[in-house]
Amino acid sequence: MSRIDGRKFDELREIEAKVGILKNANGSAYFRLGDSIAIAGVFGPRTVHPKHMEKAECAILRTEYRMSPFSTVTRTRPGPGRREREISLVTREALSSVLFLEEFPKTAIDVHIEVLQASASTRCVGINAASLALADAGIPMRDLIASCSAGIVNREIVLDIAGKEDTEGEVDLPIAYYPRQKKVTLLQMDGIATKTEIKEIIKLAIKGALKIYEVQKEALRKKYEEVR
């Protein structure tokens, strides 16, 4: 038995990562996982507007997850809905711990994620792009954050939920991973599972995230080579 798109149960979709793709943003990245595509742009550290959001002891991190109206099968209404605002929040919480925010008091670091095409696991693709864009902006980081989903589809535990598996599958569990500290910085789940299954799914998702982590590092190295 195989999956809807013919992949093995523990196989990721094709990955493509590019860094420094935009001129205006201080840092930017493109990340594609199969048919899910996101770009991220980073501005900052820069002056905080509105002023009252400023923090005396550290930089504030602001994240915005957005879906292009043409990214889905039926048009998505532009503007942030409840889903987008929740994803923006969990994305910020997934990325915060690797940044040296305390080095830049009274500033803001703004991360904008634009999902250009959605085929499930878009929050993971967005986080992967954002993490690369932050590194590209030269913001001091303890590590990169790599994100990947796993879940249950047709009672099989599978890696990297894609396309129809999202709506037809039983469980979707996205994670973000901080490899150096072996910490899960994003963890969400919906769908019914037993405790044993959840543990297996998380372990599989971490494996996937580690593969993505290697691709991210490679994308950054490649940019350096071009500079040289």
Partner 1 sequence: MKFKKRLYVKNMRKLGDCMISIDKDLIKNIVSNGKRLDNREFNQYRDIIIETNIIPQAEGSARVKLGDTEVIAGVKLDIGEPFPDTGDEGMLMVGAEFVPLASEEFEPGPPNESSIELARVVDRAIRESKCIDLKKLCIKENEKVWCIFVDIDVLDHDGNLIDAATLAATAALLNTKMLKLEKDGENYKVNYEQKTDEPLPMTKKPVNTTFVKIGDAILADPSVQEEDAMDARLTVGTFEEDGETKFCSMQKGGNDGFTLEEIEKILDLAEEKGKELRKLLNF
* Strand boundaries in 20-106, DSSP class E: 27-33, 36-47, 60-67
Instruction: Provide the token pair at 155.
Output: 């009672």
Our CA angle for 119, 143, 66, nearest 5°, is 30
Residue 37 or 172 having the CB closest to partner 1:
172
Tokens of 84: 């987008």
| Binds partner 1 (CB under 8 A): choice among 2, 47, 154, 181 | 181
Question: What is the nearest approach in angstroms of partner 1 to the Cβ of residue 45?
Answer: 17
Dist CA 121 CA 162 (whole Å): 7
Nearer to partner 1 (CB atom), residue 8 or residue 85: 85
Cβ burial 117-139 (10 Å sphere, 16+ → b, else e): bbbbbbbbbbbbbbbbbbbbbeb
**If phi over 0 gives left and psi between -120 and 50 gives alpha, with beta otherwise, what is residue 155?**
left
Q: Which stretch, 5-13, 78-86, 122-130, 212-220, contacts partner 1 (CB under 8 A)?
A: 78-86
Of 35, 86, 114, 200, the one binding partner 1 by CB under 8 A: 86
Residues 194-223 that bind partner 1 (CB under 8 A): 194-195, 198-199, 202-203, 206
Residue 92 C-beta: closest distance to partner 1, Å: 8
Work out whether 178 is an interface residue with partner 1 (CB under 8 A): yes
The answer to the question of residue 187 lying near partner 1 (CB under 8 A) is yes
In the list 93, 114, 166, 200, the residue contacting partner 1 (rule: CB under 8 A) is 93
Cα–Cα dist 156/197, whole Å: 10
CB of 142 to partner 1, least distance (A): 12
By CB under 8 A, residue 10 contacts partner 1: no
Alpha-carbon gap, residue 44 to 34, rounded angstroms: 30
- CB of 185: closest distance to partner 1 in angstroms? 4
Does 141 participate in binding partner 1 (rule CB under 8 A)?
no
Tokens, residue 24 = 């205006």
Check binding of 57 to partner 1 (CB under 8 A).
yes
DSSP secondary structure of 87-130: HHHHHHHHHGGGB-GGGSTTEEEEEEEEEEE-SS-HHHHHHHHH
Give the binding site for partner 1 (CB under 8 A). Answer: 52, 55-57, 82-83, 85-86, 88-90, 93, 96-97, 173, 176, 178, 181-195, 198-199, 202-203, 206
